[in-house]
Amino acid sequence: MIVKMRKGARPEDIQAVEDKLHELGYQTGKLVGTEIVLIGVYGDVSQLPVGEIQEMAGVDELIRISRAYKRAAQKGDPTDRRYVHFPVGNVMIGEDLVVIAGPCSVESERQIMEAARMVKEAGGHILRGGVHKYRSSPYSGWEGVGADSEESLRRGLEWIVKAGREYDLPVAVEILDHTKIHLYEDVGVDCLQIGEPNSRNTVLLNALRETPLPVIHKRANSLDCEAYLLWTERMMTTGKENIILCERGILGPNKYTRNTMDLGTVAAFYYQLTGLPVAVDASHGTGRRDLVHPMTLAGIMAGASVILVEAHPNPLIAKSDGYQALFPEQLKNLVEAAHIVWDVRRKTDALYQPSVVFEPQYEKRVEADRKRFFG
C-alpha cells in the first residue's frame, strides 16, 4: 500500500500519517519527490483502516500496489481481462448467461419435482433448493426437510437430485455443515452454495478447498467487497478456481427492501477486481417479488453472468420466503427478458474502455490544458 500525500503537504501532516501507521503496527518507508511525498506501508493491509487514513490532513489517495487476494484477483491487463470458466454439471459457467432457479426450500418430493419442471419450462439452466435451511431465529419455524437428521438430509438431497435428473438440470444446494460435504458429493449434488450467514465460516471454507464441486459463495451483507474476496481466497489457496461470487444485497438504511443491492460492487468485480464469474440474487437482494425482475436485469448490465432466482409452483403456500419467490409465469418472463438484456450487455461491453487507455495522452496535456483553461 502507498499513501500518496498532496502536493505541498506540510511536514507535520506527513509525520502524523507515519506516526499513525506505526501506532497501528505497520512499518513505513518514505519517498520524497520534488512535489509530492509517497509513504510505503508494509504489512497485512487488509486490516488497515483505509477511511481513517484517507481523511487525515494532507493525504491525497491510498494506492494498493498488490492485492491480498492474489488467486481471486483479475489476472489480465485492464485492456485484456481474463475470466475463469468451468462446468456445473452440463452447464458452462462464465461463457454465456446462466439462470439458477427454484424454491427457497425443498418441501416434498412432489413439490421439488414440479419446481424442476417449472424451471425447465421457463428456460432455466440449474435447479436450486435448500434441504437444510439456515434460520437466524430458533422460532422461525421451517428449517427444511433435512434439518432433523443425516437420514432426513440424505432423503431431501435425493429428492432434489432426482428432480434435476428428471429434467436434465444440474442441482445447486446450500450446505451448512463441513462434515456433510461427502454426503452432498455421494448423493450427486452438482454445486454447493454458501449462504450469507456462512460467508465467513472459516471451518466450512477451509473444508471446501478439497471438494471438486463448484461453489456459489454469497457475500455477507456487512462485508466490504475486498474483504469478501479475501474470504473467497481462503477456498482457493490450494488451487480451487470453480467458485461463483454472488451479490445478494448488503445492509443499508432502506427498510422497504430486505437488503440493498450493491450493483457498484458487481461492476467492480467484473470490470476491475476479479476474474471469477459473478452472480446476482435479487430475490434476497430485495425481498420483494415484484422487484426481482428489474433488479436482476440491472445486475446483468452491471456485470453478472449468473442469476439466482427464487421461484415456486405456488409461492402463496411456500414454507419459506414465499413473499420473494416468483410465480411460474413471472419466472418465464424474467428468463426471456434476461436473455434480451444479456445480448445488449455483450454489445455495450464492446464499447467499454478503461481509463488507463486514455490517461497517458491526457497526462501529456495537463500543463498545456491548465494554461488553456485557467490562464
| Residue 78 located in a structural domain | no
The answer, yes or no, to whether residue 65 has pLDDT greater than 70, is no
CATH number at residue 41: 3.30.70.1140
What's the CA gap between 57 and 203, in Å, rounded? 41
Q: Where does residue 245 fall: left (phi above 0), alpha (psi -120 to 50 degrees), or beta otherwise?
A: beta
| Residue 132 located in a structural domain | yes
**Span 245-260, pLDDT tens digits:** 999 999 999 999 999 9
What's the CA gap between 216 and 242, in Å, rounded? 9
| Residue 80 located in a structural domain | no
What's the CA gap between 184 and 365, in Å, rounded? 60
Q: Are residues 99 and 58 in the same domain?
A: no
Identity of the residue numbered 146: G
Q: Are residues 58 and 99 in the same domain?
A: no
Q: Are residues 209 and 303 in the same domain?
A: yes
Q: What is the pLDDT averaged over residues 329-349? A: 98
Secondary structure of 44-62 as H, E, C letters:
CHHHCCHHHHHCCCCEEEE
Q: Supply the pTM of this predicted model.
A: 0.83
- Mean pLDDT estimate for the chain: 93
Q: Where does residue 102 fall: left (phi above 0), alpha (psi -120 to 50 degrees), or beta otherwise?
A: left
Q: Which long-range contacts (CB under 8 A, 24 or more apart) does 173-179 make?
A: 173/128, 173/129, 173/130, 173/131, 174/130, 174/131, 174/132, 174/133, 174/134, 175/204, 176/132, 176/134, 176/204, 177/132, 177/204, 178/203, 178/204, 178/206, 178/207, 178/208
pLDDT at residue 69, rounded to an integer: 85
Q: Are residues 43 and 121 in the same domain?
A: no
What's the CA gap between 345 and 160, in Å, rounded? 33
Q: Phi, psi at residue 189, to the nearest 5°?
A: -60, 140
Count of domains observed in the chain: 2
**Span 189-236, pLDDT tens digits:** 999 999 999 999 999 999 999 999 999 999 999 999 999 999 999 999
pLDDT at residue 135, rounded to an integer: 77
Residue 369: HSE in the Cβ half-sphere, 13 Å Cα cutoff: 6
pLDDT at residue 375, rounded to an integer: 85
Residue pair 216/308 in contact by the 8 Å Cβ criterion: yes
Give the domain extent around 46. Answer: 2-66
CATH number at residue 206: 3.20.20.70
Q: Are residues 10 and 144 in the same domain?
A: no
What's the CA gap between 222 and 249, in Å, rounded? 9
Q: Are residues 137 and 194 in the same domain?
A: yes
Q: Are residues 126 and 57 in the same domain?
A: no
What's the CA gap between 318 and 213, in Å, rounded? 29
**Span 97-151, pLDDT tens digits:** 999 999 999 999 999 999 999 999 999 999 999 999 887 777 777 899 999 999 9
Q: Are residues 159 and 249 in the same domain?
A: yes
| Residue 73 located in a structural domain | no
Q: Are residues 158 and 98 in the same domain?
A: yes
**Span 270-296, pLDDT tens digits:** 999 999 999 999 999 999 999 999 999
